[in-house]
Amino acid sequence: MKTQHDLATANSRPEGGNDSRPDQNYLTMLQNLLKQQWDSYPPTWFITIQWSPAPTEYQVASGHARHFRNKLLTAIYSCSLKNLPPKKDCCKLVWFHERAQDPHGRLIYHSHLHLTKAPQVISGLHLQWIIDTKVAPGFHCLKNLHRKHDPGLVIRPWNYDHHAFYNLKDYYRHKYQQDSDLVLDVLSSDLILPK
């Protein structure tokens, strides 16, 4: 059982400044974790979400992801959160939050969702309809879903060659900026963690 000291140590920032940023060993470990995840649960859909307004903090993007997750799952299964199917039978969601620079030079976050084990009846159009009619209403961060330039929501069939390690590019792009190890949202994702 973890003690308070263990939790405090786990939540503290690493010492060493930029030298403590993810190195090749960390990226290899992360690639192996993702490969295990995709081999066990190959995703069906790759979804890009541009939150509006765009978050400038990782924690805000992660909070949006948790809220989106709850609304999406209850809409897919037409039930409350407490009546969702058991975890082994439920959709799996793996979230990444990437940074990009806005026109003012600020780093802002958008999110990528790898959706696995969606019921077979859910096509891309049906998923779009669920998000438009069940998830977006009342969710203040899901605006501009259908604008022509840079839409707020893009749903694509998941492709291993293009999407399996797509989000790892952010580790290299922002290697010497804070929290470069936070691209994968471990807390909001359904991951198979190594034993």
Backbone angles phi, psi at 25, to 5 degrees: -65, -40
Is residue 30 in some structural domain? Answer: no
List, for residues 34-48, the tens digit of each pLDDT value: 999 999 999 999 999
List, for residues 137-187, the tens digit of each pLDDT value: 999 899 878 788 878 999 999 999 999 888 887 666 655 554 445 688 988
Is residue 63 in some structural domain? Answer: yes
Number of domains making up the chain:
1
Is residue 193 in some structural domain? Answer: no
The single-letter code of the amino acid at 27 is L
Domain that holds residue 149: 41-182
Is residue 117 in some structural domain? Answer: yes
Give pLDDT, residue 178. 47
- pTM of the entire predicted model: 0.81
- In this structure, is the dihedral angle defined by the CA atoms of residues 61, 66, 69 and 75, taken in order, positive or negative? negative
Q: Residue 61 is part of a domain; what is its CATH number?
A: 3.30.70
Buried b (16+ CB within 10 A) or exposed e, 170-195: bbeebeeeeebbbbbbeebbbbeeee
Is residue 62 in some structural domain? Answer: yes
Residue 121 contacts residue 70 (beta carbons within 8 Å): no
